[in-house]
Amino acid sequence: MYTAESGMLTAIRDINVRSNNLANLSTAGFKQDRLVTTTFAEALAVRQEIRTTGRLYSLENDAVRGRKALELKTDFAQGALQETHRHLDFGIAGNGFFVIQAGEEEYGEYENPRAAFGGRYYTRNGQFQINPEGYLIDGLGNYVLDNGGDIYGGGDPIWVGRYDFVSDEYGNLYRTTDDMGMTLDEWEYIATLGIYNPRNPDWLIKSDEYPFVILDEATAMIENEDGEEQLENLEFDGRIIQGYIERANTDIGGQMAGLISASRHFQALSQIIRAIDGTLGRSVTEVGRV
């Protein structure tokens, strides 16, 4: 019964993960999640032979032999770029994340373990806006940062003032003029979009409120040439495309098939528990009668 119960709990979590992936089909820059499962025997094999995989899992609560949810992994594969013709939409072709300043008042000194590490969070959603003060902000009203290069992978908020600006493929923002005969070099430079490009995207963990946040300072920080701690930020080698957004990378067919399979698995295990419960009930009744 406990084995079947373990499988049911895993199936429920799998259903929730897949449902969330499908619910975010229209969310720009969304990355689908995958539930990694294991059995007690598989976890025991890893524990006994760590050199095989280089991973170590705790078996303290793995006394059940059923299938268990091991961890949640995010698929960072590139989503399709969709043209929107909207001046404030930006898509990233390649690796990297836009750097956003988390709200100061809400997070204070960032003691909340679910808060954005260093007051920054990182997203592929380039649907930006301009606030009344003329600063570039995201959909939550937080500042989009330039490539100032502080230790948290971003710099200062970007002031654009008006909508008459363009971006090149490197994320450099320029003020356009009425004289369209001017070349790009002659336009007024505003700022460069801050892009954080981690060597290992697994450092980025989804939060309930923000798309991705860095929580593990020990793995995310490195020592630079000056002996100072900073985020490891690889050189951005992709392209910024204005007027486009990145669509969710959710595999609709795969998620639907997995959702059906998990639902049937849950139903089958519930029938097993019902049968075992009935058998136990009859046993108690008959033994009591004897």
Distance CA 195, CA 197 (A): 6
Same domain, 45 and 29: yes
Q: Is 253 part of any domain?
A: no
Q: Is 255 part of any domain?
A: no
Q: What is the pLDDT of residues 180-195, one digit of tens each?
A: 555 555 678 899 999 9
Same domain, 23 and 158: no
- Give, in order, the Cα–Cα distances in Å from 192 to each of 146, 157, 240: 5, 11, 11
Q: Is 112 part of any domain?
A: yes
Q: Is 128 part of any domain?
A: yes
Q: Is 202 part of any domain?
A: yes
pLDDT value of position 127: 94
Residues sharing a CB contact under 8 Å with residue 29, sequence separation 6 or more, in sequence order: 79, 123, 124, 125, 126, 211, 245, 246, 248
Q: What is the pLDDT of residues 30-50, one digit of tens each?
A: 999 988 776 655 555 445 554
Q: How many domains would you assign to the chain?
A: 2
Same domain, 71 and 139: no
Same domain, 171 and 216: yes
- Residue 121 lies in domain: 81-246
pLDDT value of position 106: 47
For the chain, what is the mean pLDDT? 79
Same domain, 56 and 108: no
Q: Is 252 part of any domain?
A: no
Same domain, 118 and 133: yes
E strands, the chain, in order: 33-38, 68-74, 81-83, 90-93, 97-101, 120-123, 129-130, 136-137, 165-167, 172-175, 188-192, 195-196, 204-205, 213-214, 221-223, 229-231, 239-242, 244-246
Q: Is 26 part of any domain?
A: yes
Between these two residues, 71 and 257, which has the higher pLDDT value? 257
Contact 229, 222 (CB under 8 A): yes
Residues sharing a CB contact under 8 Å with residue 282, sequence separation 6 or more, in sequence order: none
Answer whether residue 84 shows pLDDT above 80: yes
Same domain, 95 and 61: no
Q: What is the pLDDT of residues 216-271, one digit of tens each?
A: 666 677 777 777 777 777 888 899 999 999 999 999 999 999 899 888 888 888 88
- Mean pLDDT in residue range 51-66: 48
Answer whether residue 72 shows pLDDT above 70: yes
Contact 144, 125 (CB under 8 A): no
Same domain, 210 and 173: yes
Q: Is 166 part of any domain?
A: yes
Same domain, 224 and 105: yes
Q: What is the pLDDT of residues 106-152, one digit of tens each?
A: 444 444 545 677 778 899 999 999 999 999 999 888 999 998 876 66
**pLDDT > 70: what percent of the chain?**
75
Same domain, 42 and 91: no
Same domain, 63 and 130: no
C-alpha 81: how far from chain center: 18
pTM: 0.77
Same domain, 36 and 140: no
